[in-house]
Amino acid sequence: MNAAISYAAITAVALASALIGFYGLRVSRTTSDFYVASRTVRPWWNASAIGGEYLSAASFLGIAGLILTTGSAGLWFPIGYTAGYLMLLLFVAAPLRRSGAYTIPDFTEARLESRGARLVTSTLVIVIGWLYIVPQLQGAALAVRITTGLPSWAGSLAVAVIVAVVVAAGGMRSITFVQAFQFWLKLTAIAVPAVVLLIFVGGVEPALPPVEAFPAAAGPGDHDPYRTVSLMVALLFGTLGLPHVLVRFYTNPDGGAARRTTVLVLMLLSVFYLFPTILGLLGRAFAPDLAATGDADALVLVLPDRLVPGWAGDLLTALVIAGAFAAFLSTSSGLVVSLAGVISQDLLGGSVRGFRIAAVASSFVPLIVALATDSTGLAGSVGLVFAFTASTLCPMLLLGIWWRGLTARGAIAGMLTGAVLSGSAILGGGIISAAVPAIRPFLEQPAAWTVPLALLVTVLASVADRRRRPRGVDAFFTRLHVPEPTGRALPQAGAVSGPAASGAAAGTSDRGASSATAGPGGPASPDARG
């Protein structure tokens, strides 16, 4: 593998991302620009940006590596990742956009009229975001080590620095341009090599004959039903609570645009996941040694050089490296934007300056964790983050949108229950299962029992606390579920902020001034400048 080409590919992606981000800085002036791009992002742009930030290291590198090591069992990951957006379309996208919030904690406080519930939600958003960023930095470390020979820490540090600079410079509006570009780069970088390798593979002798590369034991009949069901619960419901995905729906002009965005995302993801699947299957025949050495996640990076000789293979490898680096940057950028919004509003006054400080902090805290830990499989580690999200934020969001009976105490009890149960399984599962081997599957894939228990605790605690149901819940439900009038002009960007701005944009009456939540600057207040 040519190290010079690898350096050139990484440098090109970093420079392109930085230049596009700084272009976004020219049009990012108000607080609303930094938090939600002034709610003016149209469905096609937003869908591309969501695809850019959602298709992380786990998707670009991890899926193929998982199929290499587990066969058809790995196919459940792309199925779950894509189907999670169907859940978003049906249950969350449009109501969340109409809620008038900048962040998930904004929604929690407005819906439950509770600062305590907001604090718990903010803490979980930060924990989830940092847990999700760590695999991106570990993926960057793997890619740089495999392709250039540099030490692993160089890749993690490069991604953290670039993301911090771009996000702090232009916020959500800037990142929207960057992530849309990075999605199409990733799709090209995974599709072109997959198609070319399929053409070239006829003239290459496989390392394993088909009967060994695709044994019957690797088929669907060999799947553990509990693990499969639990994984799907984690991926389907975990998508509903991912902070970096949900915050993008606040950037749509209205609820209808949020639904159209989600449909487009489903189409884009369905196309993308065809190609890592193809590469994973090719890897089982032509690069089985990577599974034995523990470098399965490097399959997408290594395969072009093995199957296509000469300069053509080098160019394909460079394209793959560029796509992989774009994956690390785009997902990390989306996570840092969502975390910076929460930290800035809750701790730093919600100003643009506070957003920038929070963006830097949100980039470098997970960097410390990534440098101190080793990757154990990108797709698997991200799947555990989905399980944690499904057990914590998802029950609060679903019940908050669709059940009037949810109370602040119920939401807090459910979120804490899910956090304790899933967190214990994820962090302490190895120790516990060593003592009691029979429960190992339930700890390695905990979502099948942690999500129902979190939902049950939320409902029971809310029923027991029904006298404390928020007084403004009926008005809030009207905002969530009544479609916006068509033909209504959107407010000028920067005129108002927070829920008040959303109420105007959605064509609903402004209840934000009396609600418990507010965007930066408070309800119906002018946006803070630079």
pLDDT number for residue 237? 93
pLDDT number for residue 504? 33
Q: How far apart are CA 138 and CA 155, in angstroms?
A: 8
| CATH T-level fold of 3-375 | Sodium/glucose cotransporter (1.20.1730)
Tokens of 345: 């509003």
pLDDT number for residue 26? 57
| CB-count exposure of residue 311 (10 Å: 0-12, 13-18, 19+) | exposed
Q: 529 - beta bridge partners? A: 30
Are the CB atoms for 364 and 283 separated by under 8 Å? Answer: no
Residue 175, C-beta contacts closer than 8 angstroms, at least 6 positions apart: 21, 24, 49, 166, 167, 333, 334, 337
pLDDT number for residue 25? 58
Q: How far apart are CA 334 and CA 176, in angstroms?
A: 9
Long-range contact pairs involving 105-108 (C-beta distance under 8 Å, separation at least 24): 105/342, 105/345, 105/346, 106/345, 106/498, 106/499, 106/517, 106/518, 106/519, 107/397, 107/400, 107/517, 108/396, 108/400, 108/411
Q: 176 - beta bridge partners? A: none
Q: How far apart are CA 377 and CA 385, in angstroms?
A: 13
Residue type, 91: F
Q: How far apart are CA 450 and CA 454, in angstroms?
A: 6
pLDDT number for residue 234? 93
Are the CB atoms for 266 and 86 separated by under 8 Å? Answer: yes
* DSSP states of 280-341: HHHHHHH-THHHHHT-GGGHHHHHHHHHS-HHHHHHHHHHHHHHHHHHHHHHHHHHHHHHHH
Provide the 3-class DSSP secondary structure of residue 166.
Answer: helix
pLDDT number for residue 139? 86
Low-confidence ranges of the chain (pLDDT < 70): 1-2, 23-40, 170-173, 203, 210-211, 213-223, 374-380, 484-530
61 backbone φψ class: left, alpha, beta (φ>0; ψ -120 to 50): alpha
pLDDT number for residue 120? 96
Cα angle 295-197-141, degrees, rounded to a multiple of 5: 30
pLDDT number for residue 494? 34
Closest CA to 274 of 138, 9, 81: 81
Tokens of 291: 């599974």
Handedness of CA 106, 112, 118, 123 (dihedral sign): negative
* DSSP states of 202-233: GGS--SS-HHHHS-GGGSGGGS-HHHHHHHHH
Closest CA to 30 of 140, 133, 127, 171: 171
pLDDT digits (tens, 9 = 90+) for 8-17: 888 898 888 8
pLDDT number for residue 421? 95
Tokens of 190: 């995974």
Residue with token string 């000789």? 309
Q: How far apart are CA 529 and CA 351, in angstroms?
A: 8
Tokens of 417: 């229950």
Q: How far apart are CA 40 and CA 20, in angstroms?
A: 18
Q: How far apart are CA 44 and CA 399, in angstroms?
A: 29
How many Cα atoms sit within 13 Å of 319 on the Cβ side? 21
Are the CB atoms for 141 and 134 separated by under 8 Å? Answer: no
